[in-house]
Structure 1
Amino acid sequence: MARQLEEQISGRFPVGQRLRVLDVGMGQGTQALRLARAGHQVTGLERDTTMISAARAALAGEPEGIRERVRIIEGDGRDTGVHFVPGSFDVVLCHGVLMYVEEPDPLLAGLARVLAPGGLLSLLVRNGDALAMRPGLSGDWAGALAAFGTTAYRNRLGLDVRADRLATLTATLAGIGAPLYAWYGVRVFTDTAPDDAELPDPETLESLLAAEERAGRTEPYRGVAALLHLCGVRG
């Protein structure tokens, strides 16, 4: 995922350019800090106060130069129009957020609005075309059968959420002026691994990441990934 984002950024912007980045639903700030360390100016928008506290704690451990490049705002991703003027950002991230939004189109339109011309919109969503894969590979046959023909599912936190279909999001992105430029699969082989699984040895981990990276770019594997990483570009 990080490699895919870096590839898109380096392919669209001059080397060394300091980008204005908005991370909507920044969580504990992992991606925001990575981009700030790379020299970019990052604004994180997050409504969960626990996550904000974790992000601020992580930021506090960074050198002053990096801390100065990160701004954290408490707020909802659907309210970007309240906080930012049109064209404020070169890159907008919205990773792991749409599944919690019942009607995503207004949120997406707001994200496109704050993108500058030529700006990159990066989305990470649950793959609504492959919801039967996780229960099926886990031997939950009733769950697999129930997953066909729906975009509703229960996540690992026990919350009832929703997934997005590639074709639907492709049409939405075109309609808001940030048409799909590239897409990848994420967690093709590893989605059934438990959250508390220990990391393998470095050599095995490198092979695992290489296999996931290759599958995420290759048909037909990427189409059955647990998550989709979509990149749209503002016209």
Structure 2
Amino acid sequence: MARQLDEQIAGRFAVGRRLRVLDVGMGQGTQALRLARAGHQVTGVERDATMIAAAREALAGQPEGIRERMRIVEGDGRDTGVHFLPGSFDVVLCHGVLMYVEEPDPLLAGLARMLAPGGLLSLVVRNGDALALRPGLHGDWAGALAAFDTVNYRNRLGLDVRADRLATLTAKLAGIGAPLHTWYGVRVFTDTAPDGAPAPDDLEVLLAAEERAGRTDPYRTVAALLHLCGVRG
């Protein structure tokens, strides 16, 4: 996802421009910190206290210049309008969050309002068109059959969450004024790898194969995750 995001930023904004970035549901701040290191002014929003503590600890170990470029706001991603003015950001990230939101439309609309004209909205969601693949590849045939007719699933943490379909999100992005510009598949080949598995010796080759598949039909359509990039008109 990082390479894909960097590609979209490089293709949309002037080289060397310091961007105003909002990362909604930043988790432990991995993506936010990476963008702050790249010279951008980053604001991360997170409501989980454990994640916030981890992000602050990671930030504390950075040089002063990077610490000054990153701000952490404790709050719910659905309340962006409480904290920020419309059009305040050039790039808005919301990665791995929508699956935990039962009704995502207000959140999406709020994210789009945060974008300045020409701004980039980056979403990473669970692919609702490929929910049967994971149980099927694990030999859970009943689970695979049940997954065809729903966008609800149980994730690896044991939580009941939801996925998004590409066509549905495409229509929603158009409706909130940030129409889909491009999209990628994420975890095409590696979704069945167990959590915490050690990196293989040929990691670079694996990453190259994933990157290629994430840009290529029909492989990207069956990825575990979708990375959608919309642009504010």
Asked if Structure 1 and Structure 2 have the same fold, meaning a TM-score greater than 0.5 normalized by the shorter chain, the answer is yes
Structure 2 length as normaliser, TM-score?
A: 1.00
- Structure 1 alignment gaps of length 5 or more: none
Deviation digits for residues 95-114 of structure 1, max 9, x if unmatched? 00000001101100000001
Corresponding position of 2:99: 99
- Following the alignment from structure 1 to structure 2, what is the Cα–Cα distance between the partners of residues 214 and 195? 23
- Structure 2 alignment gaps of length 5 or more: none
Structure 1 length as normaliser, TM-score?
A: 0.99
Cα displacement (A) at 1:142: 1.1
Corresponding position of 1:179: 179
- Following the alignment from structure 1 to structure 2, what is the Cα–Cα distance between the partners of residues 134 and 2? 24
Cα displacement (A) at 1:64: 0.6
Percent sequence identity over matched residues? Answer: 88
- Following the alignment from structure 2 to structure 1, what is the Cα–Cα distance between the partners of residues 92 and 147? 31
Q: What does 1:1-235 correspond to in 2, within 5 Å?
A: 1-201=1-201, 204-235=202-233
Q: Which runs of 4+ in 1 moved over 2 A?
A: none
- Following the alignment from structure 2 to structure 1, what is the Cα–Cα distance between the partners of residues 149 and 11? 37
Letter in 2 for 1:20: R
Question: In structure 2, the residue corresponding to 1:120 is in which secondary structure?
Answer: strand
- Following the alignment from structure 2 to structure 1, what is the Cα–Cα distance between the partners of residues 148 and 205? 32
Letter in 2 for 1:92: V
- Following the alignment from structure 1 to structure 2, what is the Cα–Cα distance between the partners of residues 24 and 77? 6
Cα displacement (A) at 1:196: 1.3
The number of equivalent residue pairs is 233
Letter in 2 for 1:223: T
Letter in 2 for 1:206: E
Cα displacement (A) at 1:10: 0.2
Cα displacement (A) at 1:140: 1.0
- Following the alignment from structure 2 to structure 1, what is the Cα–Cα distance between the partners of residues 186 and 146? 23
Question: In structure 1, the residue corresponding to 2:9 is in which secondary structure?
Answer: helix
- Following the alignment from structure 1 to structure 2, what is the Cα–Cα distance between the partners of residues 114 and 144? 38
